[in-house]
A and B are shown apart, each in its own frame.
Chain A
Amino acid sequence: MPESHLVHISHVLLHLLTALLLPPLIPGLINKVKALMAGRSGPPVLQLYYDLAKLSRKQAVFSRTTTWVFLMGPVGTVAVGLVAAMLVPFGHLHAPCGFQGDVILFAYLFGLARFLTVLSALDTGSSFEGMGAAREVTFAALAEPALFLGFAALAKSTGSLSLSTMLAHTGPLFRFSGPLVLVLAGWAIVYMAENSRIPVDDPNTHLELTMIHEVMVLDHSGRPFALVLYGASLKLLVLGALLVGPILPRNAGPLLDWLAFYLALGVLAAGVGFAESIMARFRMTKVPQFLVAGVLATAFAFLLMLV
């Protein structure tokens, strides 16, 4: 077998292992940074791995109003996240799967996961979970234009509709440096909203009236809840790859590229932890304004690419 094939196979394997094993580390890093900022030692960085192992052994309590639809949310979130992880390049190496137009599939895979989570929440018949589901889809509807306008700006600059080329573009940026800053600013807002992080949502709150994502999964326990937690961390990784991809060093070589990717993810997690430590979550009525700011930033970036 030629050496280039071996390198390619090892790259795909590393990509797969990263997508499978790394996600629970990211919330651990975020929580560690938050704890250190608050002067606490905090839980171990590997806490989510322990939690997942514990939850997979624990008994699950199901509401008697739920049906088979209830399991669709957690299962769909993880399955969709893993497929989406195969489309997005980790660093500047091409993703294992990629084709023209995969960018639309990528965005709507998460739409499918959200749809299944909402169905799962509504299946419980709980008013609170219905309320959380309504908030989730409302804010997602506002975050989606920002994501797509950012994609449009990247597509215009790279001439491709494939994530591997758009994010791992090895050519010069030409006039794109300025718009890229705006795209990343808009996507940072999308990252906070999609992952239910402060200032949009607080993953630690357990007050039903103020929650968004957490309130949708109140009735999950045992293995379904383990899937919910793992799916959330997977989303942090996959969307994080989207955010850090365009700013990683170009043509660094495979080894340095992977190192730069892991480092950038660590910095992103630390940045999220830092942001969550220094600010409170917005009032619910302010969240749409925050998301519209993201849409405007990416819209400006796209306009700059057009002129």
Chain B
Amino acid sequence: MLAAMGILSLACAGIGLVPVLMAKPLDRVVSTLSGTEQVLPSLDNLVNLSWLTVLAIPLLVVGFILWKWAAATPRGKEQPTWGCGYLAPNARMQYTASSFADGLVQGMGWVLWPKIQGGRVRGFFPFPRRFQSHVPDPVLDRVADPGLNGAAFLLSGLRFLQAGHMSIYLMYILLTLLVLLIWMVV
């Protein structure tokens, strides 16, 4: 898992640092998708991508020097992370990925439709409550899955056409040819 993530991260860094290498493959993808040659101008002609590599050099050099300088700071004894006076944090208190995204998820709730269950505490000395939140994928879970399931349900009504007899399939072909013939004539 870590190796796969590392390779992807390196690929991202590579695209950022030497984008010229990606310009030609991307142009090929664009020309294949558009179906014709030279519909759009080449990416390399639009932006001088080599500037990014040129500027990456001072960025990395300055970063390296500052890194060395910061790492050479006089070090005190290692301490626990600042806990605002609370010294016994445990894994149940950790800041999770869903907490991290909560602000944007709430703000974009009209698109993402987060599913939230429980969690509201009422009155003094409340009973233990359960809370769970889940953000279904808006495309896969909200559109693609229900759409494909609906289509599968509707199309299951046509299964009787698959009778399993060769003669019936030949009849379908004959009927299709007849329809095409009539369409051609008309």
Footprint of B on A, CB under 8 Å?
56-66, 71, 74-76, 78-80, 82-83, 86-87, 97, 99-102, 105, 122, 124-131, 133-135, 137-138, 141-142, 208, 218-219, 222-224, 227, 288
Contacts and interface: CB of A to CB of B under 8 A. Distances in A.
Given A75-B70, A126-B83, A131 B58 contact: no
B76 interface: yes
Contacts of B29: none
Contacts of A126: 81-83, 95
A61 B99 contact: no
Contacts of B104: 137-138, 141
Contacts of B46: 100-101
B107 interface: yes
Contacts of B59: 79-80, 83
Interface stretch (B61-69, B136-144, B160-168, B169-177): B61-69
Given A78-B66, A83-B58, A224-B70, A134 B48 contact: no
Nearest to B96: A130
B96 to A, nearest CB: 8
Interface residues of B, number: 40
Looking at B58, B94, B100, which has the most chain A CB atoms within 10 Å of its CB?
A: B100
Contact of B55 (A60, A105, A130): A105
Nearest to A74: B70
Contacts of B70: 71, 74-75, 223-224, 227
Contact of A61 (B48, B63, B77): B77
B79 A61 contact: yes
Give the 4 A-B residue pairs with the shortest CB-CB distance, closest first: A130-B95, A138-B103, A101-B47, A223-B73
A24 to B, nearest CB: 16
B27 interface: no
A192 to B, nearest CB: 18
Given A60-B74, A62-B75, A99 B81 contact: no
A222 B73 contact: yes
A119 to B, nearest CB: 11
Nearest to A224: B70
Nearest to A82: B62
